[in-house]
Structure 1
Amino acid sequence: MKTTEIKEQVVSGKYDALIEDLYADPSLLDYQKQRYAGALDKYQTLFGDDEVSIYSAAGRSEISGNHTDHQHGCVLAGSINLDAIGIVSKQDHVIKVISDDFDIKPIDLNDLDKKENEIGTSEALIRGVVSKLKELGYNVGGFKAFITSDVLMGAGLSSSAAFESIIGTIIDGLYNDMKIDMVTIAKVGQYAENVYFGKPCGLMDQCACAVGGLISIDFKDTSNPIVNSVNVDFSKYDHSLCIVDTKGSHADLTDAYGAVPQEMKEVAHYFGKEVLREVDEDEFYANIANLRTALNNDRAILRAIHFFNENRRVNTIVERLNKDDFEGFKTLIQESGNSSYKFLQNVYADFDYKNQAVSLGLAMSEMILKDHGVCRVHGGGFAGTIQAFVENSYVETYKEEIEKVFGKGSCHILKVRKLGGCKVID
């Protein structure tokens, strides 16, 4: 259908049920209809009234498995109802994308080699995704697209992984009949980010954005991680996922982030292993005194303790959800957060101890929530965001009170959505 026809149908309500199902929140219906209509108008302004289709890829939130993936551990993550959407039509030989206000340079499909001058750019991500899909034997082709995203940048919700995933999903839909497995789309996104973009990220972000719903990922074999969907209808528990931006700066935190895997690997190396997943837990505890002498770093030992407990906790959380034990789930989420705070120690940087916005956010959240929810540090930590699972009936109270501390608009009320990368309207 042409952009004008799809817009008329969106505005008239033809896709209301589809939109409500995708975004898992009826209160967002009007917002999403306006958003889709605006994106269609923007496409038409840029490219004309073409025959188009609409694609989506979700943002993500890590739920448990904090800093375990780089030690080949287990992670539980979920796609959220913030996403990137793309208005797309086919064209020959060239991919032309305008992403919100970014006019991305055209990608010629006859030249998919890595470009040193594109490192760190959107062009690198597109070129890398298409190159890898072609190498894997999938059909690739040109398209023009307007992509807009409401995935928050810098909030640990994986805006870059959502972009990679939507590019892969568009190629899947236009040229492969949506037959590419979404884990493959995720791996392709990771490849693009690692090799073409130049960022050594893991696979968790891309998997959660592309696969959708709640997923557990076991990274024991990082080349072939085991990805399982946790078939739970999260909406039935009457809780929302709140992400609170505590306004802490990520500037100058590279060393703080880098020290986490480095120190965990120091412990592993003591046992002649590369990562903690390869270390026998009983042997680790039997050698605590020796480790203290050898490493002269108690924090490394505490971080290893976090890894062993957190890695085991992921599977227990999945068991609780499979047994419909949401209260048990919340208890374990709180335990996971406490472990990150006490043992992993990623709530503030020790060299900047006066700035503890995440710590303050957790303290205030516990006071506000009482028995109406649980909270924990979100994502990499040290600055940025916290996560809270809050009873739907208490969400507005929590939002109002926590925003008194961190400002209007700092609390984002989200839902776990069923789908990751998908074709929305053909």
Structure 2
Amino acid sequence: MKLDDLKTRLSGGELDTEIRRIYAADSVEIASTRERLAALIERFAADFGEADAGLFSAPGRTEMGGNHTDHQRGHVLAGSVNLDMVACAAPNGSTTIRIISDGYPALELDTAALEPDPAEVGTSAALVRGVCRAVTDRGYAVGGIDACITSQVPGGSGLSSSAAYEVLVGVIVNHLFCNDELSPVELAQIGQYAENTFFGKPSGLMDQMASSLGGVVHIDFADPANPLVEPIAFDMAASGHVLCIVDSGADHADLTSEYAAITDEMRAVSQHFGKQYLSEVREADFWAELQAVRAATGDRAVLRAAHFFGDNARVPKQAAALVEGRFPDFLELVRASGVSSAMQLQNLFSTADPHQQAVGVTLALADHLLAGRGAVRVHGGGFAGTIQAYVPVDRAEDFRAGMDAVLGAGSCAILHIRPAGGVVIAD
């Protein structure tokens, strides 16, 4: 669609229904989304000129249950949130992909060269190259793209900006070159491949699945090629609580080695039993052989494995509690997960810098402000980044003010669950 036509449809309200569906937005949010998308179109025109372009979106995600269980092929409960990345993108008729993203250097790469590049490890270029390689490996021809991207998902925030970026690029490529034939599950798998093989981070599949699928989902990763996905119909407003994500002020973007240590130590325990993943090990066997496991793998590995067994078992109970409207039971399980993460998984701070314990301080402050109500836990990968809090509606503004007073204005964000995952807003 020509940019002028796209702007006309946007300003005339023709996209309002789609915006409402994607974001579960009210009239105020629809208006602000219109403004945001209009500015993005203007930027594309300034950077790349007139083109037949489309608008695309992929959300950040919140992990609601299952802390570090996905990479062990366990269970997770996750939801997409109303903070997203949006792109205005168009094919450019060449083999070159050019992306301009807020706050990052301009990116340019040739789709004729899609081997992993060691110089790109840890960069956006690696993610784009990896996504394109995975798509071409599925038999599609990927050409050049011009794209402008703007994001509400802060990097290093624990809302998985990397997964949102991977899914967004995947949605664009899928629409422009694959006739939208790749499923949301395939796009998530493609994103994980890019992150593991090209970007160099040994992540599980939860982040990409939550961003790609949308809504609240219970996922069993026993077979990651065919994960079992159970959509959960959950109305946060009906629970009497709001979801808050609080930025501790410590960036977790450079903690790949800490995350890898969790994976490595859990793998050591599973390998003691001749298995590759902890989900393949019987918990009863783990406890029966605890002395031998401890001698073979060390105490921290044992504790992290114990966390996996506990948190993995909690996820189906959390999903059932939401489905059955037992929100107090869900909160109790959130609290238990938080305690397990702190004491057994041990992902509240990096051992390389023990004086930096921003996540622990943030959890303590949140617990103090809630005064026995709601629930709090570390959010996502841990060690830095964010915490998650379920706050009673009547305490929400006081809670946000209390967190911001200590951590800085804007540290506490009240989020909504977004119904849609990675999508084409308009083509």
* Cα distance in 1 for residues equivalent to 2:176 and 2:225: 27
1:66 maps to what in 2?
Answer: 67
Paired residues of 2:217 and 2:229 also in contact (CA < 8 A): yes
Cα offset for 1:403? Answer: 1.1
Letter in 1 for 2:189: K
Paired residues of 1:165 and 1:186 also in contact (CA < 8 A): yes
Letter in 1 for 2:176: L
Paired residues of 2:201 and 2:256 also in contact (CA < 8 A): no
Paired residues of 1:154 and 1:384 also in contact (CA < 8 A): yes
Q: Does 1:4 align with 2:4?
A: yes
Change (3 A) 1:80 1:168: same
Query: What aligned pairs does 1:275-294 form with structure 2 within 5 A after superposition?
Result: 275-292=277-294, 294=295
Segment drifting more, 108-117 vs 200-209: 108-117
2:201 maps to what in 1?
Answer: 199
TM-score by length of 2: 0.91
Query: What aligned pairs does 1:131-146 form with structure 2 within 5 A after superposition?
Result: 131-138=133-140, 140-146=142-148
* Cα distance in 2 for residues equivalent to 1:125 and 1:215: 25
* Cα distance in 2 for residues equivalent to 1:256 and 1:128: 23
* Cα distance in 2 for residues equivalent to 1:11 and 1:238: 35
The alignment covers a number of residue pairs equal to 425
Q: Does 1:327 align with 2:324?
A: no
Q: Map Cα deviations across residues 335-390 of structure 1 (whole Å, 9 max, x no partner).
A: 21121122222223456444322122112212212355211001111222101122
Q: Map Cα deviations across residues 110-155 of structure 1 (whole Å, 9 max, x no partner).
A: 3333334433332332222122212212353333221111111101
* Cα distance in 1 for residues equivalent to 2:304 and 2:207: 22
% same residue: 43
Query: What aligned pairs does 1:342-357 form with structure 2 within 5 A after superposition?
Result: 342-350=343-351, 352-357=353-358
Paired residues of 1:87 and 1:146 also in contact (CA < 8 A): yes
TM-score by length of 1: 0.91
Paired residues of 1:212 and 1:417 also in contact (CA < 8 A): yes
* Cα distance in 1 for residues equivalent to 2:159 and 2:395: 23
* Cα distance in 2 for residues equivalent to 1:193 and 1:318: 28
Aligned pair partner of 1:115 in 114, 117, 120: 117
1:18 maps to what in 2?
Answer: 18
1:305 maps to what in 2?
Answer: 306
Segment drifting more, 372-381 vs 391-400: 391-400
* Cα distance in 1 for residues equivalent to 2:161 and 2:106: 16
Query: What aligned pairs does 1:172-183 form with structure 2 within 5 A after superposition?
Result: 172-183=174-185
Q: Which runs of 5+ in 1 are unaligned?
A: none
Query: What aligned pairs does 1:72-151 form with structure 2 within 5 A after superposition?
Result: 72-94=73-95, 95-138=97-140, 140-151=142-153
Letter in 2 for 1:204: M
Change (3 A) 1:146 1:76: same
- Where do 4+ consecutive residues of structure 1 move more than 6 Å? none
2:249 maps to what in 1?
Answer: 247
Cα offset for 1:191? Answer: 1.6
Cα offset for 1:253? Answer: 4.9
Change (3 A) 1:262 1:121: closer
1:51 maps to what in 2?
Answer: 52
* Cα distance in 2 for residues equivalent to 1:168 and 1:269: 34
Paired residues of 2:156 and 2:251 also in contact (CA < 8 A): no
Give secondary structure in 2 for the equivalent of 1:61: strand
Segment drifting more, 300-309 vs 77-86: 300-309
Give secondary structure in 2 for the equivalent of 1:179: coil
Segment drifting more, 249-258 vs 27-36: 249-258
